[in-house]
């Protein structure tokens, strides 16, 4: 029998289940955040005034290799004249390795070794209704963790639609399943002018695997 909500008491709720889910989210965030980076991009603009000719745009990205390879969205670094990555509160310059505007993906590289990195999952087996976690730098602030579910998938496997708000600065950050695997890249927000919220959009990780797996061949 299903009890109406007003008749439910604390003894009717499984505290162990909620506690376990909390532990899953907490550990996932703790393990993933060291691999998430903030990206600052100096872009050339089309303004006549020198004051506005170059503007700084912010986004997010994540390490996928101990050798310092980073994945982000292509629109984050388009028209970049300089790309900086903030890692462990240090600013380092990044080299653009690959840009594919068609699927909105970019690969960057920073100097160094033994970086923490995230594991790529399989977005084809991600189900509608599945819990997912988005991590990024909204408004270029501190790492921010948001959770929600996959609300829909397009038939061609080119987009995941989420009930997670993708804010400015979140683009390029990872979308993780509860195993901590990257199953998508936060990309955009569908939002009407009348609504405060919207539908988050992520690029399924299987869309870009063929473009980055060659980077990981030496990191297994």
Q: Is 104 a catalytic residue?
A: yes
| pLDDT above 70 for 64 | yes
Mean pLDDT over each residue of the chain, to the nearest integer = 84
Mean pLDDT of 11-40: 85
Q: Is 193 a catalytic residue?
A: no
Catalytic member of 35, 60, 65, 75: 75
Q: Is 48 a catalytic residue?
A: no
Q: How far apart are CA 184 and CA 174, in angstroms?
A: 6
Mean pLDDT of 68-76: 95
Residue spans per domain, the chain: 33-117, 123-210
Catalytic member of 65, 84, 104, 134: 104
Residue among 172, 167, 212 at smallest CA distance from 191? 167
Mean pLDDT of 39-57: 68
Angle CA 27–188–82, to nearest 5? 90
Q: 123-210: which CATH architecture?
A: Beta Barrel (2.40)
CA 139 distance to own-chain centroid: 14
Catalytic member of 84, 171, 186, 187: 171
* DSSP H stretches of helix in the chain: 15-32, 50-53, 74-77, 209-216
The CATH number of the structural domain formed by 33-117 is 2.40.10.10
Q: How confident is the model at residue 182 (pLDDT cuts 50, 70, 90)?
A: very high
Residue 119 pLDDT: 95
Q: Could you report the per-residue pLDDT of 26-47, keeping only the tens digit for each?
A: 999 999 999 999 999 998 764 4
């Amino acid at each position: 029998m299903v009890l109406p909500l007003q008749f439910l008491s604390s003894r009717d709720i499984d505290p162990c289940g909620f506690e376990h889910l909390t532990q899953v989210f907490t550990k996932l965030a703790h393990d993933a955040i060291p691999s998430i980076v903030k990206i600052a991009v100096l872009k050339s603009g089309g303004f006549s005034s020198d004051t506005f000719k170059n503007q700084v745009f912010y986004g997010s990205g994540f390490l996928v290799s101990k050798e310092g390879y980073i994945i982000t969205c292509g629109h984050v670094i388009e028209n970049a004249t300089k790309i900086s990555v903030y890692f462990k509160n240090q600013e380092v310059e990044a080299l653009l390795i690959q840009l594919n505007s068609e699927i909105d993906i970019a690969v960057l590289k920073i100097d160094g070794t033994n970086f923490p990195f995230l594991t790529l999952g399989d977005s084809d087996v991600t189900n509608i209704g599945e819990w997912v976690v988005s991590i990024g730098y909204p408004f270029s602030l501190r790492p921010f963790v948001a959770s929600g579910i996959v609300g829909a998938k397009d038939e061609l496997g080119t987009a995941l639609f989420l009930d997670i708000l993708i804010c400015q600065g979140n683009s390029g950050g990872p979308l993780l399943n509860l195993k901590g695997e990257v199953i998508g890249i936060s990309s955009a927000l569908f939002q009407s002018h009348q609504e405060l919220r919207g539908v988050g959009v992520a690029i399924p990780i299987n869309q870009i695997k063929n473009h980055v797996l060659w980077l990981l061949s030496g990191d297994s």
